[in-house]
Amino acid sequence: MTLPKNTITPDLSRAVLEAMNAATEAEVMPRWRSLNPDEIRTKSAEWDLVTDADEGAERLLTASLRELVDVPVVGEEATAKDASLLEIVNRPGACWVVDPVDGTRNFVAGKESFGCMVALIDDGRTQAAWITYPAVGREIHAARGIGTFLDGERLVTEAPQDPESLRGALAVKFHGGDPEELLARAATLGPVEPIRFCAAWDYLDVVTGATDYVSFSRTLPWDHAPGSLICTEAGLTSQRPDGSEYLPGDGGDGILTAHPSVWERVASTLTA
């Protein structure tokens, strides 16, 4: 089903945030810093964690979101069990994408840097996005052509204050080349730090100006569909490093987000 016109309204946005808050209040926050060992498991690798909080919150969100807009829900945890769900994101029509606990490793470690992310995709492009930060009580959301709103206030990201010394956040774990070479190239732009291993917070950092660019290699839709649209609607450029459009379901690699005034220079430096 393609979304009817005027589907994405302020009322829908408020309802999505309410559903996200209800899910995290019921399943996530009671377990934060209180997880039992038997509530933590691994998926594809030792670093790829899932908890009862992830799975419980995704179940609640899946039911709530389908009540709001009755289209398929592609959740990170459901897709871990049935990889064919990922194909829905690139098909014609609409779907929800859900990351119930983004930054699960941080959550397990008791850190504040985890989030809950939802996106509404239609015909392969993200149309609306929501991220909540349960440990600090913040939220950010956006709709295509409408703008980005942080804690209820319109947000437009300014150009970097010092374009000659850009602060970057860089993912190297799944980089196809030499990680040290990539870090060396990034260092020519200015100080560079590792990503937070929570895209929700990495995108918040760049959209609020705490960093000047963020570059990822893997770009699964539940990790990047929400943040990429939020940044784009705040005035940033969020694209594949070759300048092509980021489409959540296209199976491609790499996404670079930065202010348009420096995006080309960062992209050319990192991909030299």
Distance CA 179, CA 177 (A): 6
Structure confidence at residue 107 (pLDDT): 98
Supply the pLDDT for residue 48: 82
Selection from 104, 100, 111, 109 nearest residue 78 by Cα: 100
* Structure confidence at residue 231 (pLDDT): 98
Q: What is the per-residue pLDDT across 192-240, written as a single tens digit (0 to 9) for each?
A: 999 999 999 999 999 999 999 999 999 999 999 999 999 999 999 999 9
Q: Is 148 helix (H, G, I), strand (E, B) or coil?
A: strand
Beta bridge mates, 193: 169
- Residues in the chain, pLDDT under 70: 174-176
Which structural domains are found in the chain, ordered by start? 10-155 (3.30.540.10), 168-270 (3.40.190.80)
The conformation of residue 87, written as its DSSP 8-state character, comes to: G
- Token readout for 42 is 């691994």
CA–CA dist 242, 116 (Å, integer): 29
Name the amino acid, one letter, at 113.
Answer: S
Site of tokens 């010394």: 165
3-state SS, 175-199, equals: CCCCHHHHHHHHHCCCCEEECCCCH
pLDDT for the residue 174: 65
What pLDDT is stored for residue 176 in this prediction?
66
pTM: 0.96
Reference 18, options 73, 62, 55, 64; nearest CA is 64
Q: Write down how long the chain is.
A: 272
